[in-house]
A and B are shown apart, each in its own frame.
Chain A
């Protein structure tokens, strides 16, 4: 298994507040890795660091992000722009705000195809129809002509997924892509992502706070708290035999539909206090 992304000792701060503490993780080719944690755990920050879109307030203090032999953090902007879209892509969190309201779906979908893959208008359109079919959108010709506000949330997210896969990138980062969707749609979308990932043999870095989602589609997972990696490993292993108390607590906090008598248990206070001490050490 060859590593596609290697994050080594990544530390990030916002002024004096630590955001990421010495984070190290590896994502191997073709696998789906989950970054799990609650809000503020740093999972989105890691994703943004990889994509090069960290807000100006957050500064990388030390560490490397190695992708295909190069440290992304040290790449000049022009080189980074070459990578983006073609070798690394994003499935964003909010499908409503991530699509340009003033441009048609077809135009937004074919941006990459026309500008980076240099396809003709006709070829790009044909490919776009194909992509929309892959994400199970009915009536793709109609959709191409539409504006984002004319589509439902689920359809918009499918379009964004199609967009992400359009140039066949090596890595796709999915930033909580189902959070903004209805529960009924979530499952379909997750299955879609998993299927496309397998078909294209893409490496997937999946940011989420929901262990249920992780269980469904991720091969490996990394548990984060307060910017620090607590646990890493294969999903099946960790979910059955969690090593860290926090992971246990997370599991316990998840509703179990097969054990309705098992009431929801939030992460206990003492554990949180312990964790805080642990990570600042």
Chain B
């Protein structure tokens, strides 16, 4: 992609991000529930309450509060969490890796599974097996991650207790890691027993998040594959005597992947949103779970910090998808 395209996309993204921040900022301050009164001990005096309010800058008019906050953000200061009494940035950075790893795992699973379904369905086109696969996929499309998560908890956590259904790792195991990237650091430092434990905790929430996306990818990619398979170059590939498998993977897939990516790319960002409820269901200590608590507790600084974080991740994913699409399409690459 040319430099000017990247620049204009970045600017557009920043404007969007600003819009998000303003909206959230205003929203939470229209709140009926008062966070200060939730924090303060009963029987505190009026002046104590006011002092606390002033300390969090909540006595200023809204627009001033925004400017103050914005200025602080530009200096990297996100303020202090009202409910957790810690620096917001610290809290978020502590729990962000867990969510990132989960989302990454879910994305990888969705890509693999979705592509597999699409390829198998293409290969079996015309048979009853293909019709079954496509219909089954259609049903899977309709099931939201909320229901998947609870079903997994029920079936694989309780009925047939195969896997853990809460937390990120067994608390009795201390792996002595430096970062919060349990999976990545664990793999790099070859702490395989630990990695296995972490994976066991991550599998169910990752499946929960990935199944709906996998179903979408499966359907979209199947459609684009069908479009590609009738093209002349596929016919010629057959006439060259290439095997069905080779045609599917080497000739067809790369042409089908590009439009499929363009259509499904936007859905990758929904994965980020999916973390919120999935982490809650599985008591997984990431920023999604944190966000729910922050909202319930009316923890304004934390809410703002989290929304900003989500917004940035969203934009980053968007740009990554755009870049990927451009890279995959040789025509765009040389344009």
Contacts and interface: CB of A to CB of B under 8 A. Distances in A.
Do A and B assemble together? yes
Interface of A: 51, 53, 81-86, 89-90, 92, 94, 97-103, 111-112, 115-116, 147, 149-150, 160, 163
Given A83-B241, A92-B235, A116-B241, 11 more contacts: A81-B241, A82-B241, A84-B239, A98-B233, A100-B237, A101-B331, A102-B329, A103-B254, A147-B330, A149-B330, A149-B331
Contacts of B239: 51, 53, 84-85, 89-90
Contacts of A94: 232
B23 interface: no
A99 B240 CA distance: 12
A102 B255 contact: yes
A56 to B, nearest CB: 9
Contact of A150 (B236, B241, B255, B334): B334
B241 A92 contact: no
A84 B241 contact: yes
Contact of A111 (B232, B242, B258, B334): B242
Given A53-B235, A149-B330, A102 B254 contact: yes
Contact of A100 (B233, B238, B246, B258): B233
B172 interface: no
A99 B251 CA distance: 10
Pick from B232, B235, B236 the residue with the most CB of A within 10 Å. B236
Contact of B240 (A101, A112, A149): A112
Nearest to A149: B331
B329 to A, nearest CB: 8
A101 B258 CA distance: 12
Contacts of A163: 240
A85 B231 contact: no
Q: From DSSP, what is the main secondary structure of chain B's interface residues?
A: helix
A60 B311 CA distance: 61
Contact of A90 (B236, B251, B330, B331): B236
Contacts of B235: 53, 92, 98
A85 B330 contact: no
Interface of B: 231-233, 235-243, 246, 250-251, 254-255, 258, 329-331, 334
Contact of A115 (B242, B251, B334): B242
Contacts of A116: 241
Contacts of B236: 90, 92, 98-99, 160
Nearest to A94: B232
**8 closest residue pairs by CB, A with B:** A85-B241, A84-B241, A97-B232, A102-B254, A85-B240, A100-B233, A98-B232, A90-B239
A83 B238 CA distance: 11
22 contacts: A51-B239, A81-B241, A84-B241, A89-B239, A89-B240, A90-B236, A92-B235, A92-B236, A97-B231, A97-B232, A97-B233, A98-B232, A99-B233, A100-B237, A100-B251, A101-B330, A102-B254, A102-B255, A103-B250, A103-B254, A115-B241, A147-B334
Contacts of B331: 101, 147, 149
Contacts of B231: 97
Contacts of A86: 241
Contacts of A150: 334
Contacts of B242: 85, 111, 115
A81 B246 CA distance: 13
Nearest to A51: B239
A101 B330 CA distance: 8
Contact of B255 (A83, A85, A101): A101
B326 to A, nearest CB: 14
B224 to A, nearest CB: 13
Contacts of A98: 232-233, 235-236
A150 B333 CA distance: 12
A84 B334 contact: no
B183 to A, nearest CB: 33
Contacts of A112: 240-241
A102 B232 contact: no
Contacts of B258: 102
Nearest to A85: B241
Contacts of B329: 102
Nearest to A90: B239
Contacts of A83: 241
A111 B240 contact: yes
A261 to B, nearest CB: 42
A104 to B, nearest CB: 9
